Structure 1
Amino acid sequence: MTNGGPSGDAELTAQTLERAALELLRRDGVLGGLNLREVADQAGVNRGLVYHYFGSRGDLLRSALRRNVRERVSAMRIHNRPMRTGARIREAVKSGIRYASSIRLAALLVLDGDKQLRVMPDLERTQEQFRREQDAGLIGRDVDLVALHAVLHSLVAGYVLSRSHLAKEFGVGVRELDERFIALAERCFSAVDGPLADVSDD
């Protein structure tokens, strides 16, 4: 965004443009491209404004992604608490499904070769949480926390991106597949729980 970012009415216009871009991506798909003039038309604003706030398609997508990720991280922090690693997958998958648009946007920007994107914008806080849980015995002492984080992120992102297609190909409902996927993932991730991991997840 230009001029250090919009405020007031300009902030509302920028949000409207971001929502319009996300809607066009949902409607037309990634391969349909994203034309900034179409975004302005979809948002119902003067076409010149989209170029004023967002100089390029990448800038617009990055801004929409940052806003979406801030909302997702804020929601996750409300529910953040120490838990067994096997149980963490349930919340991670459900959060990923709830904020799937940020995962789709991140994938699009990765495929576009975006060099500024952070696919794990809350990396430091999450790693610190993992370290506290490892110190408390909830995660095994021998578990590589960077690898754990990468595996968890990749598992959630990969599933969220393909869950509808997978459900269709398997011939099951999406929600049924979600529960079956989460149940097995919980069992797999319980292998990294520490020996003292007998706390309640409630």
Structure 2
Amino acid sequence: MTSPRPRRRAGSFHDREATEDALRTAAVELLNKEGVLAGLNLREVADAAGVNRGLVYQYFGSRRALLRSALLHRSKGNAADAASAARLPLRERLALLLRGNARRPEAIRLIALLVLDGDDRPRILPNRGSGRDTLAEDAARGALPSGDVDAVHAALASTIYGYTLFREHLAREIGVPVEELDERMVPTLEALFSARPPEPGRAAGEPPPGTARTR
């Protein structure tokens, strides 16, 4: 069990901010340590944060609201990465998104937990508007494998989020260090989500030799 922190009492606004942050941190630490299927015991969260259990309900109202608040705070770094990547070339953008989420996986874990819990409020696509606009510009330049920008956006998020959730398990099954697999994933992502230039002597959009044409 996570070691309990010194007991806090309700007080000023700044005390409340610190208490809420301690509760969010304790909730994420317990989930990381004990796993999702063990459940999130709010008494344990309060003990780990060093506060009275009643403050969990007073400040958040429910377990789900506590997790939503933790997600909001934990996802700020991921959203900042997405915003920073928006104007980068596609390869650099994919690399930054992959490495940023792998470095800060808590937000992805919290999103997955809330969605599995039946919560329809989490936003799966941070910076949805700007991210889609950038992909639309990529599509207009012919840099994407498909002109269906929404589907590409969904596929890209699914790939990066899924890899973030399973990267350590995948590395163990494959038998390589997780950092090595991270680096190998970058060119693989580029190959999956970048349009390949046509082979010499073949126009863009023309199928490879031997490929049956559809009428």
Same fold, judged at TM 0.5 (above): yes
Paired residue secondary structure (1:172): coil
Change (3 A) 1:175 1:140: closer
Does the CA contact (< 8 Å) of 2:24 and 2:69 recur in 1?
A: yes
Q: Which runs of 5 or more residues in structure 1 are unaligned?
A: 1-5, 194-202
Deviation readout 1:94-135 (Å, 9 max, x if unpaired): 111122100011111111111222222321221122234445
Larger radius of gyration: 2
**Matches of 1:117 and 1:7, distance apart in 2:** 27
Rounded to whole Å, the distance in 2 between the matches of 1:192 and 1:10 is 53
Could you tell me how far apart the structure 2 residues matched to 1:17 and 1:192 are? Answer: 48
Q: Could you give the per-residue CA deviations for residues 71-115 of structure 1, whole angstroms, max 9, x where no partner exists?
A: 32124424542313x443211211111221000111111111112
Distance in 2 (alpha carbons) for counterparts of 1:154 and 1:61: 21
Contact 2:167 2:178 in 1 (8 A): yes
Question: What is the Cα-based RMSD across aligned positions, in Å?
Answer: 2.2
Higher helix share: 1
Say if 1:18 and 1:64, in contact at 8 Å, map to a contact too: yes
The whole-number CA distance in structure 2 between the counterparts of 1:188 and 1:79 is: 18
Q: CA separation in 2, counterparts of 1:121 and 1:75?
A: 10
Displacement of 1:171: 1.2
157, 166, 171: which one aligns with 1:167: 171
Q: Is residue 86–residue 131 contact of structure 2 (8 Å, CA) maintained in 1?
A: no
Bigger Cα displacement from structure 2, 23-32 vs 120-129: 120-129
| Amino acid aligned to 1:116 | R
Which residue matches 1:49? 55
1:105 maps to what in 2? 110
Residue 196 of structure 1 corresponds to which residue in structure 2? none
Over 3 Å counting, the alpha-carbon distance change for 1:141 and 1:106 in structure 2 is closer
Which residue among 178, 183, 187 is the counterpart of 2:191?
187
The higher-RCO structure (CA 8 Å, 6+ apart) is: 1
What is the TM-score with the length of structure 2 in the denominator?
Answer: 0.79
TM-score by structure 1 length?
0.83
Q: Tell me the distance in 2 between the aligned counterparts of 1:57 and 1:71.
A: 23
- Alpha carbons 2:86, 2:130 under 8 Å: kept: no
Give the aligned partner of residue 9 of structure 1.
Answer: 15
Q: 1:62 aligned to 60, 68, 93, which one?
A: 68
Percent of paired sites with the same residue: 45
Distance 2:170 2:157 in 1: 19
Contact 2:64–2:114 (8 Å) recurs in 1: yes
CA distance in 2 between counterparts of 1:160 and 1:128 reads 24
Counterpart-to-counterpart distance in 1, 2:146 and 2:36: 41
- How many residues matched? 186
